[in-house]
Amino acid sequence: MEYIIQLGKNAKFAQLTLADASTALKNRALTAISAALIENKQDIIDANAIDLANGKANGMSDSLLDRLALSESRIKDIADSVLEIVALPDPVGVIKNGSTRPNGLNIEKVAVPMGTIAVIYEARPNVTIDAAALCLKSGNAVILRGGKEAINSNIATANIMRNAIESVGLDKNCIQLVEDTSRETANALMKLNGYIDVLIPRGGAGLINSVVQNATVPVIETGVGNCHIYVDKTADIDMAADIIFNAKTSRPSVCNAAESLVIHKDIAEKALPAIKAKLDEKNVELCGDEYAGKIIDISLATEEDWGKEYLDYKMSVKTVESVEEAITHINTYSTGHSEAIITSDYTSAQKFTKLVNSSAVYVNASTRFTDGGQFGFGAEIGISTQKLHARGPIGLPELTTTKFVIRGNGQIR
């Protein structure tokens, strides 16, 4: 597809200047972006109003409309988050390790930008700015392919950012938006080998799966989270209820929200009513296996429920006879995002953290902490659920690769 190839060429050319840019220049560009977003906020709000009106006309749900909306205060928050990226250390040029070999060769492994990063995402206009800022700080050109529902908002913010970075002397093609939101442009990006060094999909299971199935460029899978909380037989029941309530209801639409409660049968009779009472405060709908259904009044879970990311006030309940059975259940149905055990038993905690096969495994804490900011890494571009390259929150260091630089004085082998 000629249009997408041209974006790839533009990015490759623009990135050459960014690869060579000082930290100070990159930070000036980010500061200019932040200021320009505030300065041009009315343009953004006007463009966003068109997207919101189209969304309403097309019957978009309230929660999706909420994700799409850009108010003055949200623009301020986004502009502030760009300034937070200014404050983060530059990941480029960090020497990861090195040695001098017996033959005198001096070898160092140094962090360098990936090159060009493509991001495919849905109707969340904040991703346009977050992703562009993180890619810029890590020395990468970015090609942004957002959902058609946010296209007016995205065009407005992308143009503001492009002008801002040009004003400090960077090539504006370091940030490019795919303005044609047809399915063809997404597919072409997925196959743009030679131009795209890594593709990061951000969105629901359908988008992620489409990218995994179709992409020939390297991919970092993100964000689908069927997170479990396992209540061990020795759990503190109040702690369990508080953590489950927090993990399920503090923000049900995000990937680190809990979707499934797994509970030891020895504690179920006492704990399930207490947990249900807490979840009833937010009208969380529960379904579960037969054993759970004998203790609390809930509907019967189907096989499909165990693998489901509800992203809603809904939760499945599975009863088990041991921590080993809990681990097997979780490793079977989890998406590899975040899982927690609530226990006061040392051995159960050790087993769970060792054998649960997910990017983040918690003891006695809410899964909602899986987040670059909460982990102290600063901003993130997503949560990786794959094992290659990045696992868990993807921050600035994960947006770089490494290069070996070897200095000699005539060595041959």
Q: Which residues bind a copy of itself (CB under 8 A)?
A: 16, 19-20, 99, 101, 105, 107, 109, 114-115, 193, 197-198, 212-213, 216, 218-220, 236, 239, 242-243, 245-247, 250, 349, 353-355, 357-366, 368-370, 374-376, 386-389, 391-392, 401-413
Choose between 132 and 240: whose C-beta lies nearer to a copy of itself: 240
- Rounded to whole angstroms, the Cα distance separating 90 from 412 reads 35
Report which residue type is found at 160. I
Choose between 129 and 390: whose C-beta lies nearer to a copy of itself: 390
Choose between 55 and 372: whose C-beta lies nearer to a copy of itself: 372
Q: How far is the CB of 170 from a copy of itself (least distance, A)?
A: 17
Choose between 54 and 328: whose C-beta lies nearer to a copy of itself: 328
Supply 139's token pair. Answer: 């020395």
Choose between 300 and 388: whose C-beta lies nearer to a copy of itself: 388
Q: How far is the CB of 303 from a copy of itself (least distance, A)?
A: 16
- Nearby residues of 183 by Cβ (< 8 Å), 6 or more positions away: none
Tell me the longest C-alpha to C-alpha distance in the chain. 78
Residue 268: CA count within 13 A, CB half-sphere: 22
Q: How far is the CB of 146 from a copy of itself (least distance, A)?
A: 23
Say how many Å lie between the first and final Cα of the chain, rounded: 45
Q: How far is the CB of 22 from a copy of itself (least distance, A)?
A: 12
Q: Which of 75, 376, 336 has the alpha carbon at shortest distance from 223? A: 336
- Rounded to whole angstroms, the Cα distance separating 89 from 27 reads 10
Alpha carbon distances (Å) from 139 to 5, 53, 62, 397: 21, 36, 37, 11
Q: How far is the CB of 227 from a copy of itself (least distance, A)?
A: 13
Q: How far is the CB of 224 from a copy of itself (least distance, A)?
A: 13
Choose between 49 and 355: whose C-beta lies nearer to a copy of itself: 355
Choose between 150 and 244: whose C-beta lies nearer to a copy of itself: 244
Q: Which of 286, 289, 271, 274 has the alpha carbon at shortest distance from 231? A: 271
Q: What is the DSSP-derived secondary structure letter of residue 222?
A: B
Q: How far is the CB of 335 from a copy of itself (least distance, A)?
A: 11
Alpha carbon distances (Å) from 53 to 58, 152, 222, 307, 342: 9, 11, 30, 35, 45
Q: How far is the CB of 68 from a copy of itself (least distance, A)?
A: 24
Choose between 265 and 391: whose C-beta lies nearer to a copy of itself: 391
Residue 105 φ then ψ, to 5°? -65, 135
- Rounded to whole angstroms, the Cα distance separating 347 from 279 reads 29
